[in-house]
Homo-oligomer: A and B are copies of this chain.
Amino acid sequence: MGLQVAQIGEGALIAALGEIFGHSGQLGQSGQVELSQNLNNQKKLLFGIGDDGAVLAPSALATVATMDLAIEDVHFKTDWSTAKQIGAKVAVANIADIYAMGGEPHSLLVGISLTGQEELEWVLDLARGIAEEAKKVGAQVIGGDTVRGEKITIAITALGNTSEPIYRSGAKVGDQLVISGLPGASAAGLALLKADKRELFPEIVNAHLQPSVDGKKAHSLISAGATALCDLSDGLLVDVTRISEASGVGIKIDLDHLNLSSLIEAGTTLAVDPMSWVLTSGEEHLFIATLPPSAALPEGALQIGEVIHGAGVEVFGKFSDARTSDKNTWQHFEK
């Protein structure tokens, strides 16, 4: 048993976290130094951790801001996930939201509530998981808060730049509905964990425990002319319904042509129709977009439907949910 957080005190914890996050606010004589400059994201950090707030230099681009909370035993279990996986997962959820707005993430604020009983190394690994995901996308942790609480809680705010935000509301009748990859693995992974069968399909389980986000997938959808864009955070049906509602259009999803081979074996093992995972799996951070009718599909992207007149989301495909067995459609899905 290593050192526990409660044994080292808040000051030492914050100092250790500051080292992992790669900088702290050491100022020179002038009162201001440029701690880092993220050239890709065109955002300069004037001051990071160590004062009442972080300071970011002005930029000619608009700012995208988002926040997600994750709570022990609701959003993650310390039995199932390593600390690094937990940190990475919450960071990725926020980073994906920035990409989903047509932005480039540059900064994270991280609030962590700890019981005090955690081993220090566990907490530092949590921070490393966050810092590594930030670094992958050219972002960094610029501040936050650490407090005590009965359950481990992680709050992350991501900030990004955008020259042209892309909303959920721009879908036009006739547009193609496109997703950047096959969804379902996160829900399948969770089902495998619950059934205590994680060792059978480690890759699928990993998609649940440590989802990744690929900003290039968002970029390629934007380059293809995306009229609406979001990430897959709450499940295909929920997220497509949001595009439909925000854009004031109907959306027809046709899943007949999807290749579910990567999920079939796990479905058989658990006696679950993998199509139900495709429809409801969230926290995968694939990107859903509507593209103009003539747009070429980016590599790896799948066309799964089209935007139609009207309202609501209709789903066509072969699946065996009790609710749909007589018609093979779901209509006007509501959460």
Measured CB to CB, the residues of A under 8 A from B are 9-11, 25, 27, 31-32, 46-47, 50-71, 73-75, 96-98, 100-101, 103, 107, 109-113, 142-145, 147-151, 153, 155, 157-160, 162, 165, 167-170, 230-231, 233, 246, 335
Contact = CB atoms under 8 A, between A and B. Distances in A.
A231 to B, nearest CB: 6
Contacts of A50: 168, 246
Contacts of A69: 111-113, 145, 147, 149, 153, 155
Nearest to A9: B335
Complex copy number for this chain: 2
Given A46-B165, A167-B47, A335-B9, A147 B74 contact: yes
Contacts of A144: 67
Contacts of A151: 149-151
Given A109-B66, A155-B155, A165-B32, A58 B55 contact: no
B31 A167 contact: yes
Contact of A56 (B31, B51, B62): B62
Contacts of A157: 65, 67, 109, 157
Contacts of A155: 67, 69, 111, 153, 155
Contacts of A113: 69, 71, 153
A47 B159 contact: no
B67 A169 contact: no
Contact of A148 (B11, B51, B71, B162): B71
A153 B52 contact: no
Contacts of A145: 67-69
A242 to B, nearest CB: 9
A53 B100 contact: yes
Contacts of A67: 109-111, 143-145, 155, 157
A73 B147 CA distance: 12
A63 B159 CA distance: 11
Nearest to A107: B65
B148 A55 contact: no
B101 A53 contact: yes
